[in-house]
């Protein structure tokens, strides 16, 4: 027997119309590409999204068509998300930090018919356009006064096409499983793969992200998602703020610590989210200038492991609560968050900090298991590490236009991460499966070593890779970027790490570099480091484990 409740499809346009009706005057602030601070609100956003839907319809965009964006976090980008998805088309966010070949591959694979770009990316698109097979219209996200001189053929001015419409448009109703957004993984191995979100997955994910046990985005907060909208939908933060009517602040093209601090301060931001590299730079800036974060209550850190020293600095020095989160493009992206339970909140502060260094408890909607190489499910003992697998209503079941099956017989998706889960349900990523260091038949966690190393006062950033070893298969090499004017030695680092990791984990050598390469989504690029140290071998005398 079915229940007798209404079947009301979970559509993204419904989040927007709710915000327009009940939080119409709540603000959306952008530190814009053109320069000035732009201020709008949810009522205006909804009206302009309707006009944009009319304009896109006039350009021939129909149900299921892909509209690509090469754009920073701005109100116009948000209007594009809601207009395309609201009309039944698909918002395809493209990461402009990828290489040309990857961008061409992605835009051709998605067969984007319309390409919308910020002023910053005009030279990029001028370069790429001859290789793009499907793009019919180019829209530049600016007003008439800022339209650039460009070689691009017939570029449309975003403000012109929006303002030419009257907004007399009603959001259509359709199946909640309709595709709404498309985002490609960066494809560190092989070609990039498209993750195709649905209205249902995005709306359910938005419900999950607003909770106080996850990102805590209530109607009383001011949220700044520094994580770009092209990186797994800015972790869903703009959908979450629209759902609750929270004030939304967008940083446009600005990612330098000084401007980010200014935005946090001027706009009295209370919750924010970004990858560790952003926070590393901001914390350095705060230390150097003596400035603080008086308005900020909580920071979500994810994308890569948050080092203990970073969590301690936020919580102890600046009184900002850290939400350490894990997720991936394939999970919309939220999978787990490290907020405390009644039981863990009663633990001594040091033990709570240990838990905050883990990637947190699975959010309802993401079922998690860890399995060994033979597929056996491992216990939640905080030690048994295995392949992390997930399933749920906002986990991908296939990649876009790709026949390769990606789920196991139980419907679980293999994340490619290696993790363990403790008795409190806190999951800890120990490595990407392809980055684990196999030493003497055991695994050494490169993430644990990196996090221990960055706690050293002279270390700014650290990365650990496995180097082939005749006796142990592989041994760890610690690559360090020292703080300005400092140096670190092998002996000093080994002594520092000695009481923090198992003795057999101690890196066989430590090398200093000026910079560690990062991927387009801010992760340490282990492939590039392994390539750089391809011919490196340990000095035989120093390396007997």
Q: Helices then strands (H, E): number in the chain?
A: 16, 25
Q: Which stretch in 100-108, 127-135, 313-321, 325-333 sits in contact with ligand ADP by CB under 6 A?
A: 325-333
Active site residue 330: yes
Window contacting ligand ADP (CB under 6 A); options: 37-45, 120-128, 296-304, 315-323: 296-304
Q: Is 401 helix (H, G, I), strand (E, B) or coil?
A: coil
Contact 120, 71 (CB under 8 A): no
Least distance to ligand ADP, CB of residue 93, Å: 12
Q: How far is the CB of 107 from ligand ADP (least distance, A)?
A: 17
Question: Quick check: 305 binds ligand ADP (CB under 6 A)?
Answer: yes
Binding mask 509-538 for ligand ADP (x = CB under 6 A): ----------x-x-x---------------
Which residue from 328, 334, 436, 497 is in contact with ligand ADP, where contact means CB under 6 A?
328
Interior/surface letters 321-341, b for 16+ CB within 10 angstroms, e for the rest? bbbbbbbbbbbbbbbbbbbbe
Distance CA 61, CA 65 (A): 6
Backbone torsion region of residue 8, taken as left when φ is above 0, otherwise alpha when ψ lies between -120 and 50, otherwise beta: beta
Binding span for ligand ADP by CB under 6 A among 3-11, 114-122, 342-350, 413-421: 413-421
Minimum CB separation of residue 444 from ligand ADP in Å reads: 16
- Distance (Å) of CA 470 to CA 419, 464, 537: 27, 19, 10
Residue of 44, 150, 284, 438 with catalytic role: 438
Measured torsion, CA atoms of residues 106, 391, 521, 213, in degrees rounded to the nearest 10: 140
| Residue 326 in the binding site for ligand ADP (CB under 6 A) | yes
The active-site residue, picked from 330, 450, 461, 474, is 330
Binding residues among 139-198 for ligand ADP as defined by CB under 6 A: 185-186
Judged by beta carbon, residue 324 or residue 420, the one nearer ligand ADP is 324
Spatial CA neighbour of 291 closest among 254, 266, 323? 266
Question: Is residue 415 within the footprint of ligand ADP (CB under 6 A)?
Answer: yes
Which residues are CB-neighbours of 154 under 8 A, at least 6 positions away? 137, 138
**By C-beta, is 153 or 190 nearer to ligand ADP?**
190
Q: Identify any residues that bridge with 179 across adjacent strands, giving them in sequence order.
A: 198
C-alpha separations of 239 from 192, 202, 252, 275, 332 in Å:
25, 8, 17, 19, 12
How many angstroms separate the most distant Cα atoms in the chain? Answer: 77
Of 55 and 299, CB closest to ligand ADP: 299
DSSP state letter for 173? -
User: Is 202 a known active-site residue?
Assistant: no
Nearest approach, Cβ of residue 530 and ligand ADP (Å): 16
Least distance between ligand ADP and beta carbon 277 (Å): 12
Residue ranges in contact with ligand ADP by CB under 6 A: 185-186, 232, 302-305, 324-329, 359, 415-417, 429, 432, 519, 521, 523
User: Active-site residue numbers?
Assistant: 185, 330, 438, 443
């Amino acid at each position: 027997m079915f229940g007798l409740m209404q079947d009301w499809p979970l559509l993204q346009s419904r989040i927007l119309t709710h915000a327009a009706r009940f939080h119409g005057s709540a603000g959306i602030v952008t530190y814009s590409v053109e320069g000035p601070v732009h201020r709008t609100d949810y009522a205006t956003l909804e009206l302009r999204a309707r006009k944009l839907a009319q304009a896109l319809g006039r350009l021939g965009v129909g149900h299921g068509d892909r509209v690509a964006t090469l754009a920073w976090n701005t109100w116009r980008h948000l209007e594009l998300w809601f207009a395309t998805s609201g009309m039944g088309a698909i918002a395809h966010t493209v990461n402009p930090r990828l290489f040309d070949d990857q961008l061409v591959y992605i835009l051709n694979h998605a067969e984007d018919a319309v390409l919308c770009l910020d002023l910053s990316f005009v030279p990029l698109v001028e370069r790429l356009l001859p290789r793009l097979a499907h793009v019919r219209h180019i829209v530049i996200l600016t007003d008439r006064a800022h339209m650039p001189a460009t070689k691009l053929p017939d570029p449309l001015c975003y403000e012109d096409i929006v303002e030419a419409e009257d907004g007399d448009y009603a959001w259509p109703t359709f199946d909640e499983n309709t595709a709404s957004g498309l985002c490609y993984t960066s494809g560190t191995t092989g070609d990039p793969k498209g993750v195709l979100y649905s209205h249902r997955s995005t709306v359910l994910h938005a419900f999950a992200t607003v909770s106080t046990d996850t990102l805590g985005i209530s109607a009383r907060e001011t949220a700044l998602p520094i994580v770009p909208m092209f990186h797994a939908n800015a972790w869903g933060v703009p959908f979450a703020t629209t759902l609750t009517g929270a004030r939304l602040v967008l940083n446009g093209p600005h990612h330098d610590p000084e401007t980010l601090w200014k935005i946090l301060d001027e706009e009295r931001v209370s919750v924010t989210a970004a990858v560790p590299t952003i926070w590393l730079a901001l914390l350095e800036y705060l230390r150097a200038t003596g400035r603080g974060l008086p308005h900020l209550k909580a920071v979500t850190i994810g994308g890569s492991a948050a080092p203990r020293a970073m969590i301690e600095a936020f919580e102890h020095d600046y009184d900002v609560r850290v939400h350490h989160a894990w997720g991936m493009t394939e999970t919309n992206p939220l999978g787990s968050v490290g907020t405390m339970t009644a039981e863990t909140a009663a633990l001594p502060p040091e033990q709570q900090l240990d838990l905050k260094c883990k990637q947190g408890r699975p959010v309802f909607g993401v079922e998690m298991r860890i399995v060994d190489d033979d597929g056996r499910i491992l216990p939640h003992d905080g030690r048994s590490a295995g392949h992390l697998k997930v399933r749920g209503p906002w986990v991908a079941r296939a990649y876009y236009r790709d026949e390769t099956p990606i789920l196991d017989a139980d419907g679980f998706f293999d994340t490619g991460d290696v993790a363990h889960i403790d008795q409190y349900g806190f999951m800890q990523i120990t490595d990407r499966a392809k980055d684990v260091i196999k030493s003497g038949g055991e695994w050494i966690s490169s993430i644990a070593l990196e996090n221990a190393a960055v706690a050293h006062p002279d270390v700014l950033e650290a990365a650990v890779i496995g180097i082939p070893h005749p006796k142990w298969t592989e041994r760890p090499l610690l690559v360090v970027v020292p703080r300005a004017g400092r140096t670190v030695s092998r002996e000093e680092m080994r002594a520092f790490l000695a009481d923090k990791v198992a003795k057999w984990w101690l890196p066989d050598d430590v090398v200093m570099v000026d910079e560690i390469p990062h991927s387009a989504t801010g992760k340490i690029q282990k492939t590039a480091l392994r390539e750089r140290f391809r011919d490196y071998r340990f000095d035989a005398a120093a390396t007997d484990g």
